[in-house]
Structure 1
Amino acid sequence: MSTSKYAVVDLETTGHSPSNGDRIIQIAIVFIENHKIIDTYMRYVHPQRPIPPFIHQLTSIGDEDVKDAAPFEKIAEEVADLLAGCIFVAHNTDFDVSFLQKELVRCGVSKWHGKTIDTVELAKIMYPTLPGYRLQDIAESLNISLKQAHRADDDAEATALFLLQAIEKIKTLPKETLNRMHERSFAMKSDVSTLFYEALKHVRGKETSSDYALFRGIPYLKSKPTTTSWPKPIEFPADDLAKDQVMQKIHPSYHVREGQAQLMDLTWQAFVEKKQIAVEIPTGAGKTIGYLVPALIRAYETKQPVVISTYTNHLVDTLAEEVQKLEKALQMTIPTTVVKGMANYISFGKFEELLHFNDEVYDDSITIMQLLVWLTETTTGDLDEVNVSGGGQLFIDRIRKRSMRVKKDERVADFYTHTLNNCQQSMVLLTNHSMLVNDQQRYDPLFHSISGLVIDEAHQMNQAAIRTHQQVFSYTKWKYVMSQLNGLSSCQLLFDIQDILKRFRFNHELSTERLQHSFNEFMLAFDESMLVLMNSNSNYDNKQSTRTVKPLSKRLRSNEIFDKVLRKMNEYIGVTENYAMPIQNLPNELTLHEQAALNEWLYWVNEMKIKAGEWIELFLEQPKSSTTIWMEKDSRSLPGSLQIKKSPINGSEVIRDFMDTFVGEAGVVWTSGTLTAGQQDRFVLDQAGLPSSVPLYTFDAPANFYEGAHTMIVEDMPDIQQVSNEEYIEAVADALIQTAVAIEGRVFALFLSHDMLKKTHQAVIDSESLQEDYMLIAQGVSSGSRHKLLKTFKQQKKAVLFGTTSFWEGVDVPSEQLSAVVVVRLPFTSPEEPLFKARSEALVAERKNAFIDLALPEAILRFRQGFGRLIRSSDEQGFFIILDRRIDTKSYGTSFLQALPKSSVKKVSLEGLVKEIENCYNDGCTNRKQVRK
C-alpha cells in the first residue's frame, strides 16, 4: 500500500500575477492518504484590495465574503506546514504551485519543496477520449460531484475525487501497458511516474486479463465476434396510428408529426420501388427518425444493409448515437458499423515501430501514453476518438493507416480490416459523403448489394465531391516532409541510418556527401520556385487584407523552374533510395530500433515519391477545362501560408459516377433542411447533377414552430457599398455591443470574411464595453477547433461568438444558450473566390446569368442555414438580426426574406432593436420560453 500523502490544492485569486499585486482570496486543501480523503482545509483570504467584478462573477466570491478574513501573511506559515512532506496535487500545477510559492516568499516563508502531480496532465493520459480537460468537463464526463466550479473548496474536492478515480483506473491497466507508460512517465512535466510505479507493484505477478490481446507486446481490447443472426422482421407502420405506436416506444410523449410521417412513407416507398427521391424537411420535423425507422425495417426485411451518409465525421458520430438511442428505445439489436476513410484508423504496425525511437519530444511521449490507454478501450481504432494536443496531432498523422497491406501478425489486430469485415454483418452502415463518393474507386467497393441509401445533409454533397478530388500544395507540409530525411543539422533519422551503416562497416562518407549535395540542389530549386510563386500577380494583392487569393496562370506554370524542381526532386529521391540500399538486405541482423529506423526512412522516401506525383499534377500537367487552379497566401506569414489548390469546378460528374451504381439497384433518398433556394427550387439537385425526373418533396415546419423567431432588419446601419470597410466595421461593432448588452449575451455574429471578423472582434475589445462580463470568442483568433469554440460558448453565461462560414450551418445550440444570430453581411460568395469565379465563367459561356443561377441561390441557402441556427425546437425563441441594408434596398432582398419560414419581420433602428429586445424580455414575447437573460 502506498505511503504517499497527497495535498490536493486549489486557489482562487484576484488575477494571475502576484508581482502585479494579485492576491489569493480562497485556498482549499484536501488531504489523501491510503487511498482515502483524511482531512480538509479551507480559508477565505483578504486580498487587501477590491475583488474585480469578473472574478466575483466567476467565483461568486465578493468583498463581503472576505471582509473578516485574515490576509495571507497571517496564514502563510500554517499553509506551508500543512503542505510539508506531501505530494502537491492541483488541476494545473503551473499556476497553483507558482502562485503559492511567490506568495510564500512575499510573506517571508520558505518555498515548498516536493513532488507535484498535475491532474490536467493525468487526465489527458488516463482519459484520452474526454472532450475537454477543464475540471468541470472532467467532472461532468466522469460523474464526479462538483457543486460550484471556480470555488476553491469545491474544486479541490472534485480534483481529489478525480485523483482517486484515476489511481484506481491505473491499477486496472495490463502490466505490459503499465511498463511502457512507466518508462515514458519520467518525461512528463509532473511526477505522475510515482502513480505508475505504485500500480506496477500492485499488478506484479498477476496475469493479463483475457479481455486483451497482444500485438508485438502492446495490449489492445479484443474485438467481440459479430453476430450473423438478424432479429425477427417487423412490419412497416403504414398508418398514423401504427407510426404513433412506434414513436411512443422511442419516447412516451412523442407523436408522429405530419412531415415526419410523410418522410417515413416516401422513404419506404423509394426503398421498395428502388427509386430516387429528394425531400426537404425542416428543423423540428423529426427528419432523422423519419428516415431511420423505414430504413431499419427495410434492412430487416431484405437482409441487406442500408447506407446512411452525412457531411462530416462529427455528424456520422452523432448519427451513431441516434441509432443507439433507437436501439434502446425499441429494445432491439441494430448491428451498426461506422465507416470512415482509411486514414482515420491507427496503423498498429507503424505505432509499434515508432515506440522504438529515442528522440521523442514531450508531445510525442504524452500522446503515446494516451494511445496506450486508448488501445485498451477502443473497439474501433478510430483516431478521432483521441483528444490530443496540436503537437500530438503531428504524431497521430504519422501513425494513420495509409495502405491495406499489412504484415501477417498485424492482420488480426488491424482495426480497419475489422471495420470492413463488420460491414458484412451489419444492418446499418454510417459513413460520410467523401467516403461514399470514393467507394467506387476501391478494388472491392463496400456499399454494394444494399437495401437503400439515405444521403443526409444532401445540400453538401456537391461540395464534398469537389473537396474529395481537390489537390492541395501546402508549403509547410512539404517542408515538413522534406526535413524528415535531411536538411537539419540534428536530423536524428539520418544519424540513425548512418550509425547502422557504420556498424556494418559500409563506406557511407561519400554517399552522405552525395546525399547532402543532392538535397541542397533540390532545395535551391524548390526555394526559387516558391519565390516565383510569391512574387507573381502582385496586382491581385488585396489592399484591405493581408490575405491574397489569385488564379495560377498558364503563363506562370510554364516557367521552367517547375520542371527543374521535379528533375532535382527525382534525383534526390534516387539518392535517398540508394543511401539505405546496403542495409535493406539485412533485416534479420538489425535490432528493433535499427529496423524501425530503416522502415521510417523508407516511409519518408515513399512520401517524397508521392510529393513528386503531386508536383506533376499541380504544376506541370495541363489542367482540364473542368478544373481550376489557384494560389492562396497571407503576406504576414510568407512563405509558410503559401498554398496552391487544384479543384474540379463542380462535383456533379463525380456524383453521377458513384450514383450509377445505385440507380435501379437500390432506393436513394436525398434529404436536407435546405434543398431549395427561393425560386430556384432544384438548385441543389441541379448542382449535384440529378436528373429532372427525380421528384422533389418539400414540407413546411409544424404550425407555430417559428412563432418565437423575430427577424429584425436594422435600417440605420451604413450602406456597406457606400462606406469604407473601417467605417462599416465600427458600426457592426457598435451594433454587436448594444445587442449583447440588451440580450445579456448568447450571441452568434456570422461573418463571411476572416479579416472583417478579426477587425470587428478587436474593435469590440478596444471599446471595453463588454470587457468585464462577456466572453468574446472569435474563430481564427481564439485557440481551438470549431467544436471547442462552440463548447466554450455553450458553457458561458454571457458570450459573443464571432464565426465565419463553418458556423453558418451544422451547429446545434439550445435556446437557453443562444438568444440572437447577427448576420453582418448577406452571405454572397466573393466574386473573386476561384471556384465561384470558374463556375460563373462556365455559366456565362452557356449564356446563363451567373448572379441569378449561382450567386443568389447559394447565398439564400447559406442565409437559410444561418436562420436555422436560432430555432431548433418549437419552444425556443430568439432574434435573427440583419445588419446588411441590401436586404431592404436591393430588389433581390425580398428573395432572402421569402426563403425564410413564416415568422415576424420588422424594420427597426438600432435603438429600436434594443427596445424590442428589452420589451421581449420584460413583457414576454409570447407565452413560450423567454429569451434567456
Structure 2
Amino acid sequence: MKKYVVIDLETTGHSPTKDDKIIDVGIVVIKNNQIIETKTTLFNPNQSIPPFITNLTGISDDDVKDAPFFHEKADEIISIFQDSYLIAHNVPFDLGFLNAELMNNDKQILHNSVIDTVELSRILFPKAPGYKLVQLAEYLNIVHDDPHRALSDAYVTAKLFLKLAEKINTLPYETITHLLTLEKMLKSDLHELLLERQQALAFSTNENEQIMSFNGIAFKQIEDTTVDTNEALPSFGEYLDDIFEETGSIKQYMKNYEPRPGQRQMSETIFDSFQTKNHALIEAETGTGKSLAYLIPTIYEAVKTRERIVISTYTTQLQTQLLDEELPLIQKLIGFPFKAALLKGKNHYISLEKFAHELNSNPHENYDITLTKAMILIWLTETETGDIDELHLSSSGYLFYKRISTDAEGMIDAYSPWFSKSYYQKARKKAQQADIIITNHALLCTDMFNDYQFLPTYHRVIIDEAHHIEDTASHHYGLKLDNINMLYILNQIGISDEAKLFGKFLAKYSFDQKEVPLEKWDSILADTKYEIDTLFQTLYKYVIAQQKNNKSLSDIGRIQYRFDFAKEESKKWNVIKEMVTRLTFFLRDLIHILAIVEQHFDKDAPLDKHDKDDLHGITKLLQTFIDHLEQLFLLEDIIPQVRWVEIDTKSPKNAVYLYCEPTDVSQLLATDFFDKKDSVILTSATLTMNNSFTFIQDRLGIPSDRLVTKKFSSPFTYQNQVQLMIPNDFPDINYGDTDDFIYATCEAILSLAEITDGRMLVLFTSYDMLRKSYHLLKEIIDTNKYVLIGQGISSGSRARLKKNFQTFDQAILLGTSSFWEGVDIPGDDLSCLVIVRLPFQPPAHPVYEAKSNYLKENGKNAFMELSLPNAVIRFKQGFGRLIRSTSDRGIVFVCDARIMKARYGRHFINSIPEVPITFDSTQTLMSKAEEWF
C-alpha cells in the first residue's frame, strides 16, 4: 500500500543558501486515499523573523522563542518520510529547504520519489484560472482556513492531491498511454499512478461515452445540435414589452434587476437602424446594460429575417461574458430558440492531426513543451471548442502550439478522416448555421481586408468596444517585424545536419546529394542570419544617433523613432537600404532551394502531408519577411503610411522592432466596409467628446447620410458615488524638471493610501514616470503595510497583476496604457483612482506625429481633431474604472491641474458624468477625502 507524505514549510526567506531558516512545518500522511495523520511544529530559527514574513504567516519572534531547533526534530522528520512519496505544492522549494537543513545538521538528505502538485495541477486542471494553492482551493471547492500556515497549506495540498489522483482515474486509455511516454521528462514521479490506471483500463471498454478516440488521441465528442427557429414572432414592440414591462421576463429571471431606461431605448434604436439600413454610433455609459440592449434586437432580427448578424468584440473577456452569461439569459427572456456561434481565426484552434503527428514524431522535447503536451492531452478530453484561449500556456508552450494550430496544417482535404474532427471546421460549420456569430475585431478586420473570405456572408454587424476598431484596422492593414522573431524562426528551421525542421525532414528521406544543394542551403542560411544581425544592429545604432532630437518612449520603455524615406540622412539610409536588398536576395535564395528540395522528393513518391505542410509553412514565413522588408524600406506607398522603429535598450539581445501602419484608415473603412454593409452598429461607453460623435465618425469614415447617433447616460448616481478632486498646489510640470511633480504625486498617493487602506489604482501616461514613481514610493512607503505593484516592473501579465492586486487587502497598483480600460475591479477592492496626467499622446509618438502631420497637410487642426479627442476618450475610459455597480463608491484624484486651468480642460469635465468637483490645496483635499470616507 503506497504512502504519500505531504509537506509544507514556512521560512524566514526564499533561499537556504542565504541562511534562511524553516520556522513552521506541516506534514500530512495519506494512505489508501485517506488522510491518516497530521503533524505540525514551529522551529526556532535562531535569527529574527522579517516583518514581511510575520505579516504573511502571522508567526512572530515571540511565537518561536521557546520552539525546538531543527536538529532536535530532524530524525523524527526523516522517519516520517520512510518508504513514501514526498508531495509538496512546489517541490523544489520545500524539498530544497528541507534537504539544506538536513545537510547543515549532518543528516542524510531525502531521495524520495516526489509529486509536485503545482505541476500535476497544471496538467490535470489545464483550464484552472491559476495555480497558487489559494486559487486551486477556490477552483476545486477545498476549504482553506489559514493560508500561509504550514499545516493548513499541507492539509489543503493533501486534499488537492486526492482530487488529482481521482482525476487520473477518470482519464481514457489513450491519454494515459501518452502521459506514460511524457512522464520521464516531468518533475513528478507519476509512473506508478499512471500505470495503475492503464492496467485498470486494459481489460475494460471505454467507460465514458462522451470520449472518442482516433489515431491514438482521445478527445471529447462534440454533438451537432440543431435548433429549429422557424416560428412566427410577435411585433418588435410587443416583444420588448414581454421583456421590459412590469410583469416582463427580465424581472422574473434577473432578481435584482433595476429598470434602466436607456436599455430599452438602445434596443429600439438598433432595431430601427436595421429596418432603415442605417449605421449607428451609440454611446452607452457604464451601467446601461448595453450587451443585453444590443443582443435583444439582434437576435430578434436575425431569427425573423433568417439572415445571420455578426457581433464583434475587442476583448476575449467580453466574448466569454456574452457566451456564458448574456446569451443563456436571453434564451430565457425571449421565449423562442436561436443559434449562436463563436468564430475566431485559424490560429486559435488546435489541429488534432498536427498534434497527433507531434506526439508520435517528437516524444522527448524540453520540459516546457512536454508539460504543454501533457496539458493539451487532458484538455482535449474536456474542450468542446479546441480554442487555445481556454488554456494558460507558458511562452514556450505558445511557440509549440503554433506548430499544431489549424493555421499550420495547410489545406485540409474534405475527404481526409481528420476533416470531420477539425475544431476549426466545426466552428465554421456552426457559424454558417448560426443566427448570431460572435467574433473579434481582429478577425473582422482580417476578413474585411481579404475580400470577406473568413467569416460567413453577413450584411449587418454590431461592433462593441468600438473605440478600438480604428487601431485594430490599422494594425491589420499594417505590419510588424523584429530581429528576435526572425532569428528564432531561422534557428528553428536549422541547417541540414541539425535535428531541426529542415534537418529532420532530410533525415526521413534518402536522396542524391548532388541533386539537393545542402551545402548551399547551410551557407545561405548562415549568410541570412549574419545579414539580419548586421541590418538590425545598424538600425539600432541609427536610432540611438537620431534619438537626441526625436526621442519618444513606448509605454513599456522602448525608444521609438519614426522614419521617413524623404527625410533620413541619405548616406546612412542608403547603406540600410542596400542591406535590406541584400537580405531579401538571401531569403529568396532559401525559398528557391526549398522549391528544389520539394520537387526532388516529390518526383519519386508523394511527400508526407506533414512534411509538405512544414515546407510550405517555412516558405510562407520567408516570403512574409521579404514582403515586410520591402514594404518597410523599398516600396512607395499606395496609401499614406507611418513607419517606425522601437529599440529595447535594456534587452541584452539588442531587440529592434519595426512597424508600419496606415496614417488614416477612414477611406479604407468607408469603401471596404461601410459602403458594403447594410447596417453597422458601433457601441462603446466612450465614443463622444462634448456629447459629439464627430471625432469618431471622421476617424472611421462613416457616411453622414446613413448615420444615426445616440447617447445613453449611466443609471448610476455619480453625484453620491464619486468625488473628483484636483490639487491646485502641485509643481507645474511644464516649467522645469518632472522630479518635483513626481515627488508631490507620490506624497499624495501615500496620503490617499492611508485614507483608503490602499485599494488604489494609479494611471500613468508615461512608463518613465511610472518607473520613477514606483522607486520613490518604495523608499517612502511602509512596504510591510502596503503591497506595491508596478506594470513592467512587477512580473506578470495585466490579468496577473490585477489578480495580485485583488489578493492583498492593502495594495497600490501603478499602470500605464493597457490599465486605462478593460480592467474591472468592482466593490471594495478599488476605492481610489489616481490619474497622474491627462492622457495626451506624447507629441513625438510616431503614430501621433504622422497622423498629426497628415491632418496639418490637409488644413486641419491636429490638436482639436486628434490629440484632444483621443485624450478625452482615454480619460473617460480611465474614469470608468472606478464605478462598476450601484454600490461602488470612491475618489478620482487628478494630479494634472490643466483640467481646471487650461481652456481645453472643460472638454474633459463635460465628457464625464456630473460629479462633485473640488479644486483646492492638497491638504484640504486630504481632509475632505477622509471626511467623505
Asked if Structure 1 and Structure 2 have the same fold, meaning a TM-score greater than 0.5 normalized by the shorter chain, the answer is yes
CA contact (8 A) 1:171 1:203 kept: no
Q: Which residue is equivalent to 1:782?
A: 794
**What TM-score, normalized by structure 2, do the two folds share?**
0.92
Deviates more, 1:6-15 or 1:87-96: 6-15
Deviation at 1:826, TM superposition (A): 0.9
- Structure 2 residue matching 1:429: 3-state secondary structure: strand
- CA change 1:632–1:890 in 2 (3 A) is same
- CA change 1:918–1:374 in 2 (3 A) is same
- CA change 1:499–1:310 in 2 (3 A) is closer
Distance 2:514 2:928 in 1: 79
Structure 2 residue 554 is matched with structure 1 residue 551:
no
Q: Which residue is equivalent to 1:927?
A: none
Q: Which residue is equivalent to 2:804?
A: 792
Distance 2:260 2:217 in 1: 51
Q: 1:389 aligns with which of 386, 394, 417?
A: 394
Distance 1:327 1:110 in 2: 65
- CA change 1:218–1:872 in 2 (3 A) is same
Structure 2 residue 346 is matched with structure 1 residue 342:
yes
Structure 2 residue 253 is matched with structure 1 residue 250:
yes
Q: Which residue is equivalent to 1:929?
A: none
- Structure 2 residue matching 1:650: 3-state secondary structure: coil
| Letter paired with 1:227 | T
Distance 1:658 1:566 in 2: 31
Q: Which residue is equivalent to 1:221?
A: 220
Q: Which residue is equivalent to 2:682?
A: 670
Deviation at 1:712, TM superposition (A): 1.1
CA contact (8 A) 2:219 2:382 kept: yes
CA contact (8 A) 1:498 1:508 kept: no
Structure 2 residue 831 is matched with structure 1 residue 809:
no
Structure 2 residue 475 is matched with structure 1 residue 472:
no
Distance 1:231 1:785 in 2: 46
Q: 2:429 aligns with which of 416, 421, 426?
A: 421
Structure 2 residue 513 is matched with structure 1 residue 507:
yes
Deviation at 1:242, TM superposition (A): 4.9
Distance 2:603 2:155 in 1: 60
Structure 2 residue 534 is matched with structure 1 residue 521:
no
Deviations 1:608-652 (A, max 9, x none): 233222222222211234222111112333764211111111332
CA contact (8 A) 1:522 1:569 kept: yes
CA contact (8 A) 1:675 1:685 kept: no
- CA change 1:578–1:797 in 2 (3 A) is same
Q: 1:887 aligns with which of 877, 899, 904?
A: 899
Deviates more, 1:558-567 or 1:464-473: 558-567
| Letter paired with 1:770 | D
Distance 2:93 2:180 in 1: 25
Distance 2:681 2:485 in 1: 39
Deviates more, 1:112-121 or 1:46-55: 46-55
Q: Which residue is equivalent to 2:775?
A: 762
CA contact (8 A) 1:264 1:291 kept: yes
Q: Which residue is equivalent to 1:211?
A: 210
Aligned sequence identity (%) = 32
Deviation at 1:319, TM superposition (A): 2.0
CA contact (8 A) 1:247 1:255 kept: no
Q: 1:194 aligns with which of 168, 192, 195?
A: 192
Deviation at 1:297, TM superposition (A): 2.7
- Structure 2 residue matching 1:635: 3-state secondary structure: coil
CA contact (8 A) 2:497 2:503 kept: no
Deviation at 1:438, TM superposition (A): 2.8
- Root-mean-square deviation (CA), in Å? 2.7
Q: Which residue is equivalent to 1:308?
A: 311
Matches for 1:92-491 after TM superposition, within 5 Å: 92-208=90-206, 209-230=208-229, 235=234, 236=236, 238=238, 242-244=243-245, 245-327=248-330, 329-330=332-333, 334-355=338-359, 356-358=361-363, 360-402=365-407, 405-407=411-413, 408-440=416-448, 441=450, 444=453, 446-449=455-458, 452-486=460-494, 491=499
Deviates more, 1:465-474 or 1:718-727: 718-727
| Letter paired with 1:354 | E
Q: Which residue is equivalent to 1:930?
A: none
Deviation at 1:602, TM superposition (A): 4.8
Q: 1:605 aligns with which of 599, 613, 619?
A: 619
Deviation at 1:177, TM superposition (A): 1.2
Q: Which residue is equivalent to 1:572?
A: 590
- Structure 1 residue matching 2:637: 3-state secondary structure: coil
Distance 1:101 1:882 in 2: 53
Q: Which residue is equivalent to 1:626?
A: 640
Deviations 1:48-70 (A, max 9, x none): 44443322332233455545543
Matches for 1:569-718 after TM superposition, within 5 Å: 569-579=587-597, 581-585=599-603, 600-637=614-651, 640-660=654-674, 663-664=677-678, 667-678=679-690, 680-693=692-705, 694-702=707-715, 704-718=717-731
CA contact (8 A) 1:357 1:596 kept: no
- CA change 1:663–1:527 in 2 (3 A) is closer
Q: Which residue is equivalent to 1:88?
A: 86
Structure 2 residue 792 is matched with structure 1 residue 745:
no
- Structure 2 residue matching 1:653: 3-state secondary structure: helix
Distance 2:500 2:455 in 1: 41
Q: Which runs of 5+ in 2 are unaligned?
A: none
CA contact (8 A) 2:278 2:708 kept: no
Deviation at 1:327, TM superposition (A): 4.9
Q: Which residue is equivalent to 2:6?
A: 8
Structure 2 residue 564 is matched with structure 1 residue 539:
no
Deviations 1:640-677 (A, max 9, x none): 4211111111332343245347644xx44221111101
CA contact (8 A) 2:639 2:662 kept: no
Deviation at 1:468, TM superposition (A): 1.6
Deviates more, 1:674-683 or 1:870-879: 674-683
- CA change 1:605–1:98 in 2 (3 A) is same
Deviates more, 1:53-62 or 1:653-662: 653-662
**What TM-score, normalized by structure 1, do the two folds share?**
0.92
Q: Which residue is equivalent to 1:561?
A: 579
Distance 1:453 1:249 in 2: 30
Deviates more, 1:297-306 or 1:131-140: 297-306
CA contact (8 A) 2:494 2:503 kept: no
Deviates more, 1:63-72 or 1:671-680: 63-72
- CA change 1:747–1:255 in 2 (3 A) is closer
CA contact (8 A) 2:695 2:869 kept: yes
Distance 2:485 2:315 in 1: 23
Deviates more, 1:603-612 or 1:834-843: 603-612
Q: Which residue is equivalent to 1:924?
A: none
| Letter paired with 1:336 | A
CA contact (8 A) 1:631 1:645 kept: yes
Deviation at 1:680, TM superposition (A): 4.5
CA contact (8 A) 2:496 2:521 kept: no
Distance 1:644 1:352 in 2: 36
Deviation at 1:304, TM superposition (A): 3.2
Deviates more, 1:383-392 or 1:577-586: 577-586
Deviation at 1:581, TM superposition (A): 4.8
